[in-house]
């Protein structure tokens, strides 16, 4: 952390006579993909609450000996926030270790509001999302010049309803890159929505199970017509990113529009164009 951030966190903690809770993004699974800042906070933490159903426990290895480490997979929101408040009154640094990035499907605000009410200061350290890790694992790009410059991060409706206007078919109508979280058991709904939006049966699809997890990552490629069967054959039923994108497979295309930034005929403030 910067000296300014550290001073701010310390001042707030002293004022509240309590430690600071840090919501740290653990990244997609590989313990080495946690940020340096996140690793440093773990190394000085007095208590760590980690999402054991999604975060590889190896990430907690950065915590010091004697650290109070608790897996939250069997806890309710109230139990988690009570645990964080209690530990913040015992330790200067408390870490809530979350999968990916805390701001994306991470219940950040739900946990932060009780901390605010209890007068416990908190901060956020961003993490690498499984959307980025999945594309990295597959060697794909989310955006390409003249193909798509837009990325949609979403999910399909399950027990959690989608807000009005955010159904997958409406989003898919943009024909941009769509990274679909928390939906592998609802792949039939994904397929139906893409078809409703006019995506062809041969549209390329990508599913990555446990992106970056050492020894557990699986990359499944297919089309709208066969991706569900391919996932079934691979036994993939959890913790998977679904990607539908017109950019998939582009490294094998015969032609590709060139990025203007690196085009020798394009002038920008660091380089003059030349023929």
Residues 78-93 have pLDDT tens digits of: 999 999 999 999 999 9
CA separation for the pair 266, 22 (Å, rounded): 44
Residue 33 confidence (pLDDT):
94
Strand duo 218-223 + 204-209: pairing? antiparallel
Question: What is the pLDDT confidence band of residue 55, given thresholds at 50, 70 and 90?
Answer: confident
- pLDDT at position 157 is 87
Q: pTM above the 0.95 mark?
A: no
Element (H, E) at 241: strand 240-244
Residue 7 has pLDDT above 50, yes or no: no
Report pLDDT for 112.
97
Query: Are 55 and 61 a contacting pair, CB within 8 Å?
Result: no
Fold match between 3-125 and 130-249? no
Nearest residue to 28 via CA among 177, 149, 115, 136 = 136
pLDDT of res. 8: 47
Report how far residue 12's alpha carbon sits from residue 177's, in angstroms, rounded to the nearest whole number.
41
The hierarchical CATH code for the domain 130-249 is: 3.30.950.10
Task: Kindly report, residue by residue over 17-27, the tens digit of the pLDDT.
Answer: 899 999 999 99
Strand partners of residue 42: none
Half-sphere exposure of 175 (CA within 13 A, CB side): 8
pLDDT of residue 95: 97
| Cβ atoms of 146 and 247 closer than 8 Å | no
Question: 187-196 and 227-234 are packed helices; what angle lies between their axes, rounded to 10 degrees?
Answer: 170
pLDDT tens digits along 132-187: 999 999 999 999 999 999 999 999 988 888 999 999 999 999 999 999 999 999 99
162 by Cβ neighbours in 10 Å (0-12 / 13-18 / 19+) ranks as middle
Taking the CA atoms of 176, 181, 185 and 189 in sequence, report the sign of the dihedral they define: negative
- CATH architecture of structural domain 3-125: 3-Layer(aba) Sandwich (3.40)
State whether residue 32 is helix, strand or coil.
Answer: helix
How far is it, in rounded angstroms, from Cα 151 to Cα 160? 22
Mean local confidence (pLDDT), 58-68: 89
How many whole angstroms separate alpha carbon 186 and alpha carbon 178?
Answer: 15
What are the boundaries of each domain within the chain?
Answer: 3-125, 130-249
């Amino acid at each position: 952390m910067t000296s300014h951030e550290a001073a701010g966190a310390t001042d707030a903690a002293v004022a509240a006579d309590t430690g600071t809770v840090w919501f740290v993004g653990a990244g997609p699974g590989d313990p080495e993909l946690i940020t340096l800042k996140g690793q440093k906070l773990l190394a000085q933490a007095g208590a760590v609450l980690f999402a054991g159903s999604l975060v590889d426990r190896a990430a907690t290895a950065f915590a010091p000996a004697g650290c109070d480490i608790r897996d939250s997979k069997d806890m309710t929101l109230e139990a988690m926030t009570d645990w964080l408040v209690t530990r913040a009154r015992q330790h200067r640094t408390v870490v809530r270790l979350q999968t990916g990035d805390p701001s994306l499907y991470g219940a950040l605000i739900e946990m932060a509001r009780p901390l605010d009410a209890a007068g416990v200061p908190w901060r956020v350290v961003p993490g690498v999302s499984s959307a980025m890790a999945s594309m990295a694992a597959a060697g794909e790009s989310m955006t390409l010049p003249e193909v798509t410059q837009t990325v949609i991060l979403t999910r399909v409706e399950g027990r959690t309803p989608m807000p009005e206007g955010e159904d997958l078919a409406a989003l898919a109508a943009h024909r941009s890159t769509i990274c679909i979280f928390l939906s592998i058991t609802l792949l039939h709904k994904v397929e139906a929505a893409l078809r409703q939006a006019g995506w062809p049966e041969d549209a390329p699809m990508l599913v990555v199970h446990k992106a970056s997890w050492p020894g557990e990552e699986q990359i499944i490629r297919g089309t709208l017509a066969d991706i569900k069967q391919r996932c079934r054959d691979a036994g993939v039923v959890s913790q998977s990113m679904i990607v539908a994108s017109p950019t998939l497979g582009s490294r094998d295309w015969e032609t590709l529009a060139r990025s203007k930034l690196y085009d020798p005929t394009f002038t920008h403030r660091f380089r003059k164009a030349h023929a």
